[in-house]
Chains A and B, each alone.
Chain A
Amino acid sequence: MRLSISWIVASKDFKTFRRKRNLMYSIFILPVLVSALLPAVTNLMVQRASDHSAALTRLTLILPAFTFFYMILAGVIPAAIASYTIVGEKVERTLEPLLATPTTDSEILFGKGISAFVPSVSAVLAGSVIFMVLTDLITHGTLGYYYFPNWNAAIIFLLAVPLTVIMSVEWNVIVSARATDVRVAQQIGMLVIAPLAGIYVLGEINMVNLSDAGNLLIVAAVILLVDVLLFSLTRATFRREEILTKWK
């Protein structure tokens, strides 16, 4: 596989994204909003705590959960862009001439993966930086130290988030192969967050300890496994003959 070819495919998509401003807004607006909203909620909970001890208790519960929330974001964001890069090509009928070039299925698929991965990870990580800075500003007075950076955040932002984005991209490619409409593809594509949302809820009701680095590593390892499984499914879906004769 020639990575240079995949990069050419991805670069073309980046150029398209720059021209489709609405698409970029839809990718970046959610992480930015969430990253402003979560510290605001944190601030409200600290303010409303009856005393310092109650504030500390609340922070130890919500900060790991809010950090974990970025994995859900990492599942949501690629749905918009991955479904666009595949279904968009399908709708515009641009796949056939692309497939008629001296490129392999894997090179095109990997290129599509890069074009969905890079903006998605960038958006989530940009949001995470805003979230960490604002949260530190808000909680430093109560905690007496800067909560971020920490090992849990490193596991989530640098390991689990990229793995979740990959999972979401792969899932969305599979969904896109069967979808004929970008919106339908996005909606079905978002189902990928269901298991992560489940873990988040379990964390909120204290059934899973989201502040435990070991638990986070297990979640990351499971996602890695899912990534590998979905990769083989994605490759089976993204084949020239399938695309030209079965994709509707």
Chain B
Amino acid sequence: MIDTEGLTKKFGELTAVDRLTIHVDEGEIFGLLGPNGAGKTTTVRMLCSLISKTGGSARVAGYDVGNQADSLKIRGLIGFVPDNVGLYEALTAYDNLDFYGKLHSTPEARRKENIERFLKMLGLWEKKDDDVSTFSKGMKQKLALARALIHDPKVLFLDEPTANLDPEAAKTVRDFILELKGEGRTIFLNTHNLDEAQRICDRIGILNTSLRALGTPEELERTVKGRATVVQLEQVTEPILDALHGLSLGEVSVERNKVTISLADPEKQNATVMDAIFRAGGRVRSVNVVGSTLEEAYLKLVREKEEK
């Protein structure tokens, strides 16, 4: 549904996005994770045909990003929630949605139906005739989501949709995003909220000008730091350590009677490790597999870039 190949954006001497290559499948929630200034918003703006690309290529729903003729088609197929919701505060919730429905040339009957449907889904139907200026942040964010959906887009671009929301409002928005995925929509989510990315994204790309890593949350946790098996023994002896070193599976460290062995794939290698310990006369009290978290993976990748 979304494909980029070496997508690049430069503002004069400054490179905002550098050779980004990603593929997002239909019906997938793809999260673009990165610190402020990493190029997330620039990427979304390019994909929404709001700004031009400097290099590379991109396609959204089969249309060529950067092709003047395709720009209108892309903007007609996508729904977009910017980081600042940008609602007309002097207008009612209904009027805001009606305006955008008209701009998308949504037929009147369909427009009315969608306004009612989405406002009800988001718990705003009772407030439809209230001025947006009276809404809380959470209500505005929900209304911005409804606005992005008013024309039934296939693809949704959400730029920090839960930023500055209280936990309850953020949860409502996240649950709604998952509901949209259930309807088969493709969702491209910009966030710097690791917990949110881990909870709702099928795959995550870590961006810091260039793409630092790409995969499922679990893959990212694994690929960055790997994992380790921690074995609590009754007593750590020289023969046990010799046996573990002899396996050459990974780094071995000892802290009192606890041995930590770094392993690429603990589920497959634990049997070998246990066998070596038993043969060396070790008595095991407990075994735990520990892994790096997405947060650790993210920080490592982002810092690597900063150090370079």
**Residues of chain A having any CB pair with chain B under 8 Å:** 5, 8-9, 12, 15-16, 19-20, 92-104, 240-241, 244-245
Contacts and interface: CB of A to CB of B under 8 A. Distances in A.
Contact of B99 (A8, A20, A99, A104): A8
A97 B82 contact: yes
B91 interface: yes
Contacts of A5: 103
B91 A16 contact: yes
A97 B147 contact: yes
A20 B75 contact: no
A92 B131 CA distance: 14
A100 B80 contact: yes
Contacts of A103: 72, 75, 103
Given A94-B87, A244-B50, A100 B75 contact: yes
A105 to B, nearest CB: 11
Contacts of B50: 96, 99-100, 240-241, 244
Interface centre among B73, B90, B147 (most CB of A within 10 A): B90
Contacts of B88: 12, 16, 92, 94
B258 interface: no
A20 B75 CA distance: 30
B144 interface: yes
A66 to B, nearest CB: 36
Interface residues of B, number: 32
Given A16-B88, A97-B82, 9 more contacts: A12-B88, A15-B91, A96-B50, A97-B144, A100-B48, A101-B75, A102-B76, A241-B51, A244-B45
A57 to B, nearest CB: 51
Nearest to A2: B105
Contacts of B87: 94
Interface of B: 11, 45, 48, 50-52, 72-73, 75-76, 78, 80-82, 84-91, 95, 99-100, 102-105, 131, 144, 147
B86 A240 contact: no
Contacts, number: 75
Contacts of B147: 97
The secondary structure that dominates the A interface is: helix
A102 B68 CA distance: 12
Q: 3 shortest A-B CB distances, which residue pairs?
A: A102-B76, A93-B84, A100-B80
A8 B102 contact: yes
A30 B152 CA distance: 46
Nearest to B147: A97
A102 B60 CA distance: 14
30 contacts: A5-B103, A8-B99, A8-B102, A12-B88, A12-B91, A16-B90, A19-B90, A20-B90, A92-B86, A93-B82, A93-B85, A94-B86, A94-B87, A95-B86, A96-B84, A97-B81, A97-B82, A97-B85, A97-B100, A97-B144, A98-B103, A99-B50, A100-B50, A101-B75, A101-B100, A102-B75, A102-B105, A240-B50, A244-B45, A244-B50
B89 A102 contact: no
A97 B11 contact: no
Contacts of A240: 50-51
Given A15-B95, A92-B88, A96-B84, A102 B102 contact: no
Contacts of A8: 99, 102-103
A244 B131 CA distance: 26
Contact of B52 (A95, A101, A241): A241
A93 B91 contact: no
A49 B104 CA distance: 64
B104 A101 contact: yes
Given A5-B103, A93-B86, A104 B72 contact: yes
A20 B91 CA distance: 10
Contact of A92 (B82, B89, B100): B89
Contacts of A97: 80-82, 85-86, 100, 144, 147
Contacts of A104: 72
Contacts of A9: 103
A103 B99 CA distance: 13
A100 B51 CA distance: 10
B160 to A, nearest CB: 13
